[in-house]
Amino acid sequence: MVKFLVENIFGNILWALLGLGAGAMMTRYRKRGAEWTNPVLYGAATFVLVILVVAILYVKAVATDVKAIATDFSRKQRPQVTEGNVEAKVLDWLHTFRVNEEPLPDSEAPGAFFAIKARPRGSIGPVVIHRPTEFPHYLVIQADIELGEEEKALLGKLSETQMTEVILELQGEMARAKIGYEFQNPSRPSLHVRLIRRIPIADLSEDLFMQRLEEIVHDLSLVNTSLILSLRRGVRQR
């Protein structure tokens, strides 16, 4: 592969140098007054220009291919994350980034092979990381939004119509932000929203895991703020 790339690159460079040499020769004859040199000189210049453009495009294409090959090689060299070692990998990544964590007992995480409660820096609430038995090929990162006493009081003041508007506004905000969610109890006196990020275990890596963890922290803050603002706006409009 490397030999093929080198031969083609140097081959294009050689053709360009030959073209430049031919152009220089034509220029010399032109200075001596040879009339036949004009069209030949223009043709040689055009030939060299075309060769240079082709060479540049070829080098760019080769660079893209080399980058793809290097990325694929790096992926193959990376330790494989499997359903058997995913829990250990997640704990290792959390420790590496100094994220506080604690395992959840089976009573608090029914239907999961394992569950870990984590508190990333900057998060307004805990995040649960688990591998559900229902979807064994996925790692799920989720966070729950539960109203405080002040927000529950605001919710209790809303009419049924206003409550529906709050839910629709919240759904629209989450859809725009492309946030996975489900309402655990979409009725009074509590509005419990669960935010969800799923990652195929076969695609899992440290970078991807930390990226999704940071996204759920951002989602949590965004949805919580949107919900509080919607509740306050609904009360003011009564």
pLDDT tens-place string over residues 27-71: 555 555 555 555 555 566 666 676 677 668 777 777 776 666 655
Q: Which long-range contacts (CB under 8 A, 24 or more apart) does 135-138 make?
A: 135/198, 136/83, 137/83, 137/200, 137/201, 137/202, 138/198, 138/199, 138/200, 138/201
In the prediction, which pLDDT does 4 show?
Answer: 46
Mean pLDDT of 197-220: 95
Calculate what percentage of the chain has a pLDDT beyond 90.
38
pLDDT tens-place string over residues 150-192: 888 888 888 888 888 888 888 888 998 899 998 876 665 567 8
What pTM, to 2 d.p., does this model score?
0.65
| One-letter amino acid of 201 | I
Question: From its phi and psi, is residue 59 left (phi > 0), alpha (psi between -120 and 50) or beta?
Answer: alpha
- Identify the DSSP state of 158: S
Which token pair is 42? Answer: 């223009």
| One-letter amino acid of 133 | T
